[in-house]
Amino acid sequence: MPLLLLKDLPRYECLLEGAKEFPDLDPSACEAFLHLLRTSDEVFSLVENDLAVHGISHGRFGVLMLLWNPAQRRIDAAHAAGDCSSGPRTPAELADAAGVTRATMTGLIDTLERDGFVRREPDPTDRRMMSVLLTEKAERFLVGILPAHFKLMTRIMAPLSESERKTLVRLLTKVLENASEISVPATEPARGPPAIC
Amino acid sequence: MPLLLLKDLPRYECLLEGAKEFPDLDPSACEAFLHLLRTSDEVFSLVENDLAVHGISHGRFGVLMLLWNPAQRRIDAAHAAGDCSSGPRTPAELADAAGVTRATMTGLIDTLERDGFVRREPDPTDRRMMSVLLTEKAERFLVGILPAHFKLMTRIMAPLSESERKTLVRLLTKVLENASEISVPATEPARGPPAIC
DNA sequence: CTTTTATAGTTAGCCTCCTAACCATCCTCC
DNA sequence: GGAGGATGGTTAGGAGGCTAACTATAAAAG
C-alpha cells in the first residue's frame, strides 16, 4: 500500500495549467500515469485488506502461491507417485520470482516457518542451499481462502466487459514492456524460460 | 514497491487451467487484475528509483507536492503581495490528501523537517494544530527535479497514442470507482442519524 | 462551571521492504 | 590441490507503512 501522491487526482485543466509552467509536463501522459497508480493502489489495498482478514499479508500470500502452483502441476503430472509433499524451491528462486531481494525473502520465510506454513530443508547435494516446502496446513489454508480471493478479483473487474478487459491488458502490456526496457536499459533480449503456471 | 505476486505473469492458458479447479476464477478478470498490478508496480518502482537518485522517497516527494501546489496557485493569484512563503497546511489535511494515517504523516514531516524541506509552526488560534510550511530549499529542490520527473512520466507513457491514453484512463476510472465503492460499502445513507441499536 | 466528548498530533511497537556486510560453500583455474 | 572468485543464505540497520494508546486542547452537555 504505497503512499500515493494524491487521493483525489488533479483535474485535466490543472494539468494543462501546469504544462504552461513546465514544458516537460505532457498532460495526457501525466493523467494516464496518475490514474494507473491511483487505481492500482486502490485495488491493491482492497486485496491486502481482504487477505489481512485471514491473517496473512500480501507478501506472504505471494510466497505461498509461488510454492503451491508447482505442487499442483506435479499432482496433475504424476498423480500416482505417492509423493504428497509440495514442490520445493530455493529462497533465491522465490526471491527472483517474487521480485524482492533475498534478504526480504529470508524474512518472509522466517515468519511463514514460524506460523507453520512452510519448512526449510537443507539441500542434500549443495550445502549452501535450502529447499522451502509448503506444509499441509498451508495447502489447506490456500484451498480455503482462494475462492474468496478469486471472487474479489472478479468483483473488482466486474464493470469491464470482456472486450474492455482485453483492451486494458493490451494497453497495460505496452506500458509494462516499455517500462521494463527503461529500467533495464538497452540490454539484448536474454530471455529465460517463460512463466510457469 | 510492494511485493507483487509474480514477476512473470501467468499465461492465459494457465488461468483457464486454474479455472477448472476453481470455478470462482474468472480468467479474464484475473488476467486484467494481474496486469494492472504488475504494470503499476513496474512503473512505480521506476519513478521511485528516479526520485531516490535525488535523495528523496516517493512518500516525502508526495508531501512536498501537496504543500507546493497551493503555493503555486497563490503565486498566480496574488503575485505582487510579496508573501514568498508557501501555503501552509496541517498534518491532518496532508494525511487525508495523501491517503495515509496521521501517524505516518508525523513520521514523514519529521524527516522532511530534519532535512530542512519543511518547518512546523503552531497555529495561533487553535493550540492543538500545527501548520506545515515549505522552505525555500524545498521549492528550489522541486523546481530542480520536476522537469526530469515529468519527462520520465512522458517517457513511460510514450508507447500509447493520445486516444489510447484516453481509453486507458476511461477503463481505469471504471475500475477505480468500482473499487472505491467496494472499500466503502453501502455509502448511500450518509444522511439522518444512523440506526442506533 | 464542571464533566464529558471530540479532535490534533505524537509516541510506541510491529511488519515489510531495502542495502550492505557477513559467513559458508562451491567452482574455476593455475 | 589450493587461492580467489562466484553463489546461496543470513544478519544488521534503516525507512516507511500500519494500529493502538497517549497527551493536550477545544467544544459540547449538563
Min Cα–Cα distance to chain B from A147, Å: 6
Q: Could you read off the pLDDT of B13-38 as tens digits, one per residue? A: 777 777 778 889 999 999 999 999 98
Residue type, B22: F
| DSSP 8-state code for residue B11 | P
Is residue B85 within 8 Å of B133, Cβ to Cβ? yes
Min Cα–Cα distance to chain A from B192, Å: 26
Min Cα–Cα distance to chain B from A114, Å: 20
- Given an 8 Å threshold on Cβ–Cβ distance, is A164 in contact with B179? no
What is the structure's pLDDT at A54?
85
pLDDT at A143 over 80: yes
Average pLDDT of B43-57? 87
pTM: 0.83
Maximum CA pair distance of chain A?
A: 69
| Strand locations in B61-172 (E) | 118-122, 130-134
Using C1' positions and the CA of A110, the closest nucleotide is D10
Using C1' positions and the CA of B3, the closest nucleotide is C17
**Does any strand C atom come closer than 7 Å to the Cβ of B122?**
no
Contacts of B101 in chain A (CB under 8 A): none
- Given an 8 Å threshold on Cβ–Cβ distance, is B11 in contact with A72? no
Q: Could you read off the pLDDT of A49-81 as tens digits, one per residue? A: 888 888 888 888 989 988 886 545 544 444 434
**List of residues 6+ apart from A117 with CB closer than 8 A:** A60, A64, A134, A135, A137, A138, A141
Q: Could you read off the pLDDT of A21-34 as tens digits, one per residue? A: 888 999 999 999 99
- Given an 8 Å threshold on Cβ–Cβ distance, is B39 in contact with A173? yes
Residues 121-150 of A with CB under 7 A from strand D: 126, 128-130
Q: Could you read off the pLDDT of A33-44 as tens digits, one per residue? A: 999 999 998 898
Given pLDDT bands bounded at 50, 70 and 90, which one contains residue A190? very low
**Does any strand C atom come closer than 7 Å to the Cβ of B130?**
yes
| Strand locations in chain A (E) | 118-122, 130-134
Contacts of B164 in chain A (CB under 8 A): 171, 174
Greater confidence (A37 vs A191) lies with: A37
**Does any strand C atom come closer than 7 Å to the Cβ of B149?**
no
Q: Which nucleotides of strand C are protein-proximal, with an atom < 7 A from a CB? A: 7-13, 15-21, 24-27
Contacts of A72 in chain B (CB under 8 A): 21
Q: Radius of gyration over alpha carbons of chain A, in Å? A: 21
Q: Could you read off the pLDDT of B104-155 as tens digits, one per residue? A: 999 999 989 988 899 999 988 898 999 999 999 999 999 899 999 999 999 9
Q: Which three cell numbers stand for residue A94?
A: 522465490
- Given an 8 Å threshold on Cβ–Cβ distance, is B157 in contact with A24? no
Min Cα–Cα distance to chain B from A149, Å: 9
Greater confidence (A166 vs A187) lies with: A166
Q: Could you read off the pLDDT of B64-77 as tens digits, one per residue? A: 988 886 545 544 44
Contacts of A28 in chain B (CB under 8 A): 157, 162, 165-166
Q: Could you read off the pLDDT of B76-118 as tens digits, one per residue? A: 444 434 343 445 689 999 998 888 999 999 999 998 998 889 9
What is the structure's pLDDT at B4?
57
Q: Which three cell numbers stand for residue A180?
A: 521494463
Instruction: State the best of B165, B170, B180 to mutate against chain A, taking most chain A CBs within 10 Å.
Output: B165
- Given an 8 Å threshold on Cβ–Cβ distance, is B29 in contact with A158? yes
- CB neighbourhood size of B87 (10 A): 19
CB-nearest to B154 from A5, A24, A177 is: A24
Q: How many helices (H) and strands (E) does chain A have?
A: 7, 2
Closest-CA residue to B179 (of A132, A38, A133):
A38
Between the CA of A65 and the C1' of D14, what is the distance in angstroms?
Answer: 29
